[in-house]
Chain A
Amino acid sequence: MTGSVGAPAERREGREKVGGTARYAAEFHDPGRAQAWPVSARVARGRVTGVDTADALAVPGVLAVLSHENAPRLAEPDDPTLAVLQNPRVPHRGWFVALVVAETLEAARAGAAAVRVTYDAEAHDVVLTASHPGVYVPEEASGGQPAVREQGDPDGAFGSSAARVDVAYRVPPLHNHPMEPHTSTARWEDGRLLVHTSSQGTGAVRVVLAKLFDLPEERIVVTAEHVGGGFGSKGTPRPDVVLAAMAARETGRPVTVALPRRCLPAVAGHRAPTLHRLRLGADEDGRLTALVHEVTTHTSRIKEYVEHAAVPARVMYAAPHRRTVHRVAALDVPSPSWMRAPGQAPGMYALESAMDELAGELGMDPIELRVRNEPDVEPDSGKPFSSRHLIDCLREGSRRFGWDGRDPRPGTRRDGPLLLGTGVAAATYPVMVSPSTAAARALRDGTFLVRTNATDIGTGARTVLAQVGADALGVPLERVRIEVGSTELPSAPLAGDSSGTASWGWAVHDACDRLARRLAEHTGPLPEEGLDARADTKGVADAESDFARHAFGAHFAEVAVDTVTGEVRVGRLLGVYAAGRILNARTARSQFVGGMTMGLGMALTEGSTMDAAFGDFTESDLASYHVPVHADIAEIEAHWLDEEDSRLNPMGSKGIGEIGIVGTPAAIGNAVHHATGVRLRELPLTPDRVLSGLLDRRA
């Protein structure tokens, strides 16, 4: 090993990105490239009865208007949200009912405004309540998780517990809103389909296009050279790529479909709202006797996606009697989907808030409560942990944050009009890994070329994979070149589920390791074309583990709540993580800090409002959907422990893309309670809610 892994290597594409030369999916200006603009359904439920395209086609520059009346028929996709323009049904407001293709973006937009669509509208139902009559227990929650798990007698144990917490929390719908909207440029060339797309995984895009357009995969090339964020919303192919391929075929032109920001809330997924009921029972010493986490959420009429928010309760704490349940209602709403730390982010907000409430009931320090409930094995599965350093994270965080000596009394620290408080919460995210392939080549000039269809969605994947390769080869980092982001490269899974680096890195490691051995055996000059090695981790990376594998972390927050306005400002946010070996200190820090910032948004500023009358989300731009801005972030720190775990992958790494968001909302919410004495159980903690809580308390 030469020690590239772990070093704070700079992002390889950083200069291109800040210089504006990195090309994104809309920036492939093939000759004759046309632009397209979608037409969104204006009813929340019903059928299209007519599409009058005369005015649209009369707009100068408009080339075509596609709708279910004339669009090419596609094979049925596994994901119903991709069956665009195939039938007149409108499953939710914002569903695409037509696409206008034109010479320019402006002409396409004007054309879209001129399409006259008539509907047969039906009454819609978009409001989720825990008692909604349509609520049912699904076969499974998302991620293939069992919908229900139960051990012992949770109701009986809860009823006879010395200390009890029985509380309800609500997490609103949230949107990923990556900076780059979902975008694809497609062209057909000699029966081949060539696509540039903004996706977290081009392999899956190719599979879907092959099926929809009935093409062999080898006649499709999908590239995603640079991706301006995804946060899960680009983890599956989206309508833009289907529409672009369709429109390119119909017009015989390259076509770019860059979804307008206002369309994203309806067609690019969202984190479904979750209604949580938590019941925690404990003995006088704070040992949990019963843990019940029940989640009610919504899905759309066309696709069942069940936010698996009760799943972390199966991992976190020892409790002999336990139940975790997911329930869902199918409503006339846009289809929910993956969003950073799906399941864990909303689930841990509720669980870690309830743990804080239990600590209050018991008069116990919240860190000590977690120490007392540290399990020996994974509570739900009974498997031993491959490594679990939650308590170490809490202790290290406590030391760095200055938690010791904290006055636990809520609502007692004042600085003029400000109420001050601190909060803590645990975090967890499962270790995920998928099979991947990679190729490595030694060239005569002494450099190496590593190739794998990883996707760099802004995380620094290129850089980290080069580090892994350099160490496996035993050469300096600058001698390793890397190619990612195309289906022309050795196949690899998506950038998602915090699994990318582990999956691709494993294959890169193995390919480079193999190449190093070949080189060791090789004598004389290298052949003209260099020397190759390949690796495929199928059967290895996806082998069932005897161990429960998760990353853990601890989040600490210090807040000031303004009693004049109800505004919450986070003065300090600190995270400590045990996530295996950290492969690049610089990009890892960005991942953690980015996750924590997104968690701050989830706690304080972000939320999408379902408009009951119209059936859509009200916030449709970045002026109204409030992601945190720089001014919202004061001190923010991410630290990690040196965690050794040989039961993961050759690098010894756990995923780090998501855990940063997981504990942050509860840490902030708990700090707000500590500051004010008011327990607010619905996110986000905007001034209207906080001020109302303060006034209610005073009254």
Chain B
Amino acid sequence: MKEFAYVRAGSVEEATSAFASHPGSRYLGGGTNLVDLMKLGVETPATLIDVTRLPLDTIDELPDGALRVGATVRNSDLAAHPLVRDRYPALSQALLAGASGQLRNAATTGGNLLQRTRCPYFQDLSKPCNKREPGSGCGARDGVHRDHAVLGHSAHCIATNPSDMAVALAALDGRVELDGPEGARSVEAVDFHRLPGDRPEQDTEIRPGELITGVVLPAATAGLPSAYRKARDRASYSFALASVAVVLRLEGGVVGHAGLAFGALAHRPWRARRAEEALLGAAPTRAAFEHAVELELSEAQPLRDNAYKVPLARNLAVDVLTRLTDTALTGRAS
């Protein structure tokens, strides 16, 4: 096998300095994706820096009412946390819609954000893939791409981001906290993942050596009605064909706040800003929802075999908006 060094970090500082002193390093969280990719030869790190023992495994309420989730909190624990279930139901639902129980027990919050696309061409060394090997071409564009992107794709890459959790974080206005050689910073969750453009090898805005230390869920969306819905080929353990996370606040009979993000349509969670703008101040009717969502999806560019994603995403969004409205108006789930 390709040998690699293994370093167990005890602190963020230890982890980032280990990264700096070991060229070709990767941070290791739950390993549910990275280790698979190492077996496939897609990832070939020289050093694995195990960050699972870092003191980042707690979920804490901040003074302003926000919730900070440590990067090593396991997906199962995050989904089950009472405050998450109570204040950010979309996040809990998204996590539980992902993977399988066994994987959720191992996968971490930070690792979930950094998982790679499941595009079969990316995972197969015998085929071209610009994300894996820049300049080699894209096997999926003219190949098998039922599961691929309809929004924001480029000539270089049509892959989708596979995370359910990230879609909910995008809709909930979450932030991703980073620490690295140039110090700590945070970015909006919605800006954390990139569109492929001509650099599909770059999934995120993370800088070399930076480590995700946590995710912050803001006070502003705490307790708002929110929900996540995912369509998939089987009832569990399959990636989304399309998914949607919605956060909705009604004020005086009209939409006061709408956060809407799609999963499995693009290289990143797709925050539907145009739809949100259209919804703001509108009466929460089915027609308004359809109009807003169709406005957003009008820029979709389906490929030969994935045009179904557009009506699927529309249906999902309208359905969840409608249900959240019923909840908001009646105080109970329909």
Chain A 486-504 residues near chain B, CB threshold 8 A:
none
A614 at the interface (CB under 8 A from B): yes
Q: In the assembly, what is the distance between CA of A321 and CA of B28, in Å?
A: 67
Q: In the assembly, what is the distance between CA of A109 and CA of B238, in Å?
A: 27
Contact indicator A624/B315 (Cβ below 8 Å) = no
Q: In the assembly, what is the distance between CA of A544 and CA of B210, in Å?
A: 75
A564 at the interface (CB under 8 A from B): yes
Contact indicator A626/B315 (Cβ below 8 Å) = no
B1 at the interface (CB under 8 A from A): yes
B2 at the interface (CB under 8 A from A): yes
Contact indicator A688/B120 (Cβ below 8 Å) = no
Contact indicator B143/A107 (Cβ below 8 Å) = no
Q: Which of the residues A104, A618, A626, A687 comes within 8 Å of B231, measured between beta carbons?
A: A687
Nearest opposing residue in chain A for B334, CB measure: A416
Contact indicator B233/A613 (Cβ below 8 Å) = no
Contact indicator A107/B319 (Cβ below 8 Å) = no
| A565 and B234 contact, Cβ closer than 8 Å, known pairs A113-B41, A620-B120, A691-B311 | no
A417 at the interface (CB under 8 A from B): yes
Q: Which of the residues A605, A620, A691 comes within 8 Å of B124, measured between beta carbons?
A: A620
Contact indicator A107/B146 (Cβ below 8 Å) = no
Q: In the assembly, what is the distance between CA of A313 and CA of B149, in Å?
A: 43
Binary per-residue interface labels of chain B (242-272) against chain A in the complex, 1 for a CB within 8 Å, 0 otherwise: 0000000000000000000000000000000
Q: In the assembly, what is the distance between CA of A613 and CA of B143, in Å?
A: 6
* A114, chain B: closest CB distance, angstroms: 10
Q: In the assembly, what is the distance between CA of A620 and CA of B143, in Å?
A: 15
Contact indicator B234/A110 (Cβ below 8 Å) = no
Q: Which of the residues B1, B125, B319 comes within 8 Å of A417, measured between beta carbons?
A: B319
Q: In the assembly, what is the distance between CA of A569 and CA of B312, in Å?
A: 17
* A137, chain B: closest CB distance, angstroms: 31
Q: In the assembly, what is the distance between CA of A692 and CA of B237, in Å?
A: 23
Q: In the assembly, what is the distance between CA of A107 and CA of B234, in Å?
A: 36
Contact indicator A629/B234 (Cβ below 8 Å) = yes
Q: Please name all residues of chain A whose beta carbon is closer than 8 Å to the beta carbon of B127 when the two chains form the complex.
A: 614
Q: Please name all residues of chain A whose beta carbon is closer than 8 Å to the beta carbon of B239 when the two chains form the complex.
A: 623
| A564 and B315 contact, Cβ closer than 8 Å, known pairs A109-B1, A630-B236, A632-B235 | yes
B142 at the interface (CB under 8 A from A): yes
Q: Please name all residues of chain A whose beta carbon is closer than 8 Å to the beta carbon of B232 when the two chains form the complex.
A: 567, 687
A5 at the interface (CB under 8 A from B): no
Binary per-residue interface labels of chain A (561-576) against chain B in the complex, 1 for a CB within 8 Å, 0 otherwise: 0011111010000000
* A193, chain B: closest CB distance, angstroms: 30
B227 at the interface (CB under 8 A from A): no
Contact indicator A605/B2 (Cβ below 8 Å) = no
Contact indicator B312/A686 (Cβ below 8 Å) = no
Q: In the assembly, what is the distance between CA of A40 and CA of B127, in Å?
A: 13
Q: Which of the residues B144, B231, B236, B316 comes within 8 Å of A631, measured between beta carbons?
A: B236
Nearest opposing residue in chain A for B146, CB measure: A688
How many interface residues does B have (CB within 8 Å)? 34
Contact indicator B139/A613 (Cβ below 8 Å) = yes
Nearest opposing residue in chain B for A612, CB measure: B143
Binary per-residue interface labels of chain B (302-334) against chain A in the complex, 1 for a CB within 8 Å, 0 otherwise: 000010110110011001000000000000000
Q: Please name all residues of chain A whose beta carbon is closer than 8 Å to the beta carbon of B217 when the two chains form the complex.
A: none
Q: In the assembly, what is the distance between CA of A618 and CA of B143, in Å?
A: 9
Binary per-residue interface labels of chain A (556-600) against chain B in the complex, 1 for a CB within 8 Å, 0 otherwise: 000000011111010000000000000000000000000000000
| A565 and B231 contact, Cβ closer than 8 Å, known pairs A110-B2, A618-B120, A691-B311 | yes
Q: Please name all residues of chain B whose beta carbon is closer than 8 Å to the beta carbon of A618 when the two chains form the complex.
A: 120, 143-144
Q: In the assembly, what is the distance between CA of A618 and CA of B142, in Å?
A: 13
Q: In the assembly, what is the distance between CA of A630 and CA of B265, in Å?
A: 27
Contact indicator A565/B118 (Cβ below 8 Å) = no
B126 at the interface (CB under 8 A from A): yes
B241 at the interface (CB under 8 A from A): yes
Contact indicator B1/A106 (Cβ below 8 Å) = yes
Q: Please name all residues of chain B whose beta carbon is closer than 8 Å to the beta carbon of A632 when the two chains form the complex.
A: 234-236
A604 at the interface (CB under 8 A from B): yes
Q: Please name all residues of chain A whose beta carbon is closer than 8 Å to the beta carbon of B241 when the two chains form the complex.
A: 687-688
Q: Please name all residues of chain A whose beta carbon is closer than 8 Å to the beta carbon of B143 when the two chains form the complex.
A: 611-614, 618
Q: In the assembly, what is the distance between CA of A623 and CA of B233, in Å?
A: 11
Q: Please name all residues of chain B whose beta carbon is closer than 8 Å to the beta carbon of A628 when the two chains form the complex.
A: 234
A175 at the interface (CB under 8 A from B): no
Binary per-residue interface labels of chain A (101-124) against chain B in the complex, 1 for a CB within 8 Å, 0 otherwise: 000101101100100000000000
| A565 and B315 contact, Cβ closer than 8 Å, known pairs A604-B234, A632-B234 | yes
Q: Please name all residues of chain A whose beta carbon is closer than 8 Å to the beta carbon of B309 when the two chains form the complex.
A: 688
A42 at the interface (CB under 8 A from B): yes
Contact indicator A687/B312 (Cβ below 8 Å) = yes
| A687 and B233 contact, Cβ closer than 8 Å, known pairs A618-B144, A624-B120 | yes
Contact indicator B231/A567 (Cβ below 8 Å) = yes
* B122, chain A: closest CB distance, angstroms: 12
* A353, chain B: closest CB distance, angstroms: 21
Q: In the assembly, what is the distance between CA of A104 and CA of B2, in Å?
A: 12
A58 at the interface (CB under 8 A from B): no
Q: In the assembly, what is the distance between CA of A107 and CA of B232, in Å?
A: 37
A7 at the interface (CB under 8 A from B): no
Q: Please name all residues of chain B whose beta carbon is closer than 8 Å to the beta carbon of A40 when the two chains form the complex.
A: 126
Contact indicator A624/B118 (Cβ below 8 Å) = yes
Binary per-residue interface labels of chain B (6-45) against chain A in the complex, 1 for a CB within 8 Å, 0 otherwise: 0000000000000000000000000000000001010000
Q: In the assembly, what is the distance between CA of A595 and CA of B258, in Å?
A: 47
A1 at the interface (CB under 8 A from B): no
Contact indicator A565/B236 (Cβ below 8 Å) = no
Q: Please name all residues of chain B whose beta carbon is closer than 8 Å to the beta carbon of A623 when the two chains form the complex.
A: 118, 237-239
Q: In the assembly, what is the distance between CA of A609 and CA of B146, in Å?
A: 10
Contact indicator A692/B308 (Cβ below 8 Å) = yes
Q: In the assembly, what is the distance between CA of A182 and CA of B316, in Å?
A: 41
Chain B 111-156 residues near chain A, CB threshold 8 A:
118, 120, 124-127, 139, 142-144, 146
List 6 A-B residue pairs with CB atoms under 8 Å apart, sorted by A's residue number: A42-B126, A618-B120, A620-B124, A623-B238, A631-B235, A688-B241
4 closest A-B pairs by CB: A106-B1, A631-B235, A565-B231, A631-B236
